């Protein structure tokens, strides 16, 4: 399984764009990248998933460079409600389970 490394914590002011970068140097050809968000005392919630280049949905964007050894989750104009832990996972296509890394604790400041 490809190990992921991401910052333990980040602070941001409301209204700013937040970029969280995740390293996954050992990503394999068939792996894809998934990000989850977790609020306190809740289960993780799917945010976005991608294989290469850029993916955008109504919540976030995911940037993946050509070598796929890293990825960046971009949250536009964060609000206080975006304070949460964000997990980057590398998932093998058809994998049977998910293994979570440390995650990044994002704190949005008024």
Partner 1 sequence: GAVVSQHPSRVICKSGTSVKIECRSLDFQATTMFWYRQFPKQSLMLMATSNEGSKATYEQGVEKDKFLINHASLTLSTLTVTSAHPEDSSFYICSARDLIGGKYGYTFGSGTRLTVV
CA 31 to chain centre: 15
Closer to partner 1 by Cβ: residue 16 or 53? 53
Interface pick for partner 1 out of 29, 43, 67, 110 (rule CB under 8 A): 43
As measured in angstroms, the least distance from the Cβ of 15 to partner 1 is: 27
Sign for the CA dihedral angle at 9, 25, 33, 1 comes to negative
CA atoms of 90 and 22, how far apart (whole Å): 10
C-beta of 110: minimal distance to partner 1 in Å? 23
Contact set with partner 1 (CB under 8 A): 36, 41-46, 49, 87, 91, 93-103
């Amino acid at each position: 399984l490809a190990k992921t490394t991401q910052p333990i914590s980040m602070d941001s002011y409301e209204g700013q764009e937040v970029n969280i970068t995740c390293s996954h140097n050992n990503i394999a050809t068939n792996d894809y990248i998934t990000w989850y968000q977790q609020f306190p005392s809740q289960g993780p919630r799917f945010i976005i998933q991608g294989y290469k280049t850029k993916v955008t949905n109504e919540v976030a964007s995911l940037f993946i460079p050509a070598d796929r050894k890293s990825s960046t989750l971009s949250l536009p104009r964060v609000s206080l409600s975006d304070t949460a832990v964000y997990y980057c996972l590398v998932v093998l296509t058809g994998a049977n389970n998910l293994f979570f890394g440390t995650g990044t604790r994002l704190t949005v400041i008024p």
